[in-house]
Structure 1
Amino acid sequence: MSYKIFPSILSADFANLANEVTECESAGATGIHIDIMDGQFVPPITFGPMIVKSIKPVTNLILDIHLMVIDPNRYFHELRDFGADSISFHVESSNSIKADLDLLSDLGVKRSLAINPDTPINQIVPFLSQIDQVLIMSVNPGYGGQRFISSSIDKIADLKNLINEKKFSVEIQVDGGINAGNAGQVILAGADSVVAGSAVFNTYGSISNNINKIISNIKREV
């Protein structure tokens, strides 16, 4: 069973960001997950598209953008131009989901729809033929370091069964509370990739060791 790991720089040391991204790459991460928040869809304000432009020259990893913003299509062109490979936006944040997905397709980036913990998967069913990925939030969006919502496991499994039943080519990514204790369970439930922030960037171990712990947990479970 294959899997992908995306460290989330929301928890990184921004004074040492380039080195930490490089260490993620050396440790075997698939890509870097970048959370862009506007202070409207969620309370915090993080960083804008310029962070993508800054990171692109220092890594060959996939740049995986998660937009937690109102009217996400405002950022699509700039993010693509700065080097984004994948863009997720929330089904709860857009009034023009089909058109927004069409635009991402035209721009040639991976199309991903994100859903909050309280949003049922039937909200994204009409768009499964248009997307490459579903991002399941396993915490409430906006803040790092939250505890994994255990009911997300059933949500992952239900979505995986639906994708297989309909024969769609759609990946599942899971973001929120992922650590070395639950990553394997998440992959086993049907996820293709996991996003980990505070489990990777913390004071309890090096980035490389923390990523290796997550990988070891996945290998034990699957």
Structure 2
Amino acid sequence: MPETAALFSYIAACILIVVVPGPSVTVIVANSMRHGARAGLLNVAGTQLGLALMIGVLACGLSAVVSAMASVFDILRLLGAAYLVWLGIRMWRSDGSLGTGESTPAAGNSFVLQGFVVIWSNPKALLFFGAFIPQFIDPAGGAVAQTVFLGAIFMAVATVFDSLYAFAAGGAGARLTRARVRLAERISGTFLIGGGLWLAFARR
């Protein structure tokens, strides 16, 4: 396992990386404002499933394969971006039923799927892990075990901070008056569209 000093440095780096909002956070915030914190937390569950799969891929030493399939992952990234933009447009076109109790919440598994799709629509995250985590691996120890251990720490940090975003946005949405519901929906839709454009124009 990494030395204590290196481990604390790694945790600090994870926190700095996670607190900066990215496409995943835009989805979490948008859904939390629209459907409540539970929806955002389900998004978090989806992103964590995606991260777990990424860590597994990295632990198996498949990052080189991912690099070789750059064009395939570019297609995946664009599809994910289009999905976010579509969700954002739907929210912009919403009729404000959030404030009347008439809105039917989306199924929980759809929020989990959204989180999973968004994290895998950003393949540079996998390439980032492939460059970031090995810097903290002790050559004297087992690389696979350390990769899984460090990946689990990153997932824990991401779960904590992404959940805080969900609770904060969900609380804000719950306090909205009827007159401000449409505005909140459009803000949420803008977050989603912005996240989609972020993915679409992001350089690998």
| TM-score bracket relative to the smaller structure | under 0.3
Task: Report which structure shows greater RCO (CA 8 Å, sep ≥6).
Answer: 2
TM-score, normalization by structure 2: 0.28
Q: Which has the higher helix share?
A: 2
Q: Which has the higher strand share?
A: 1
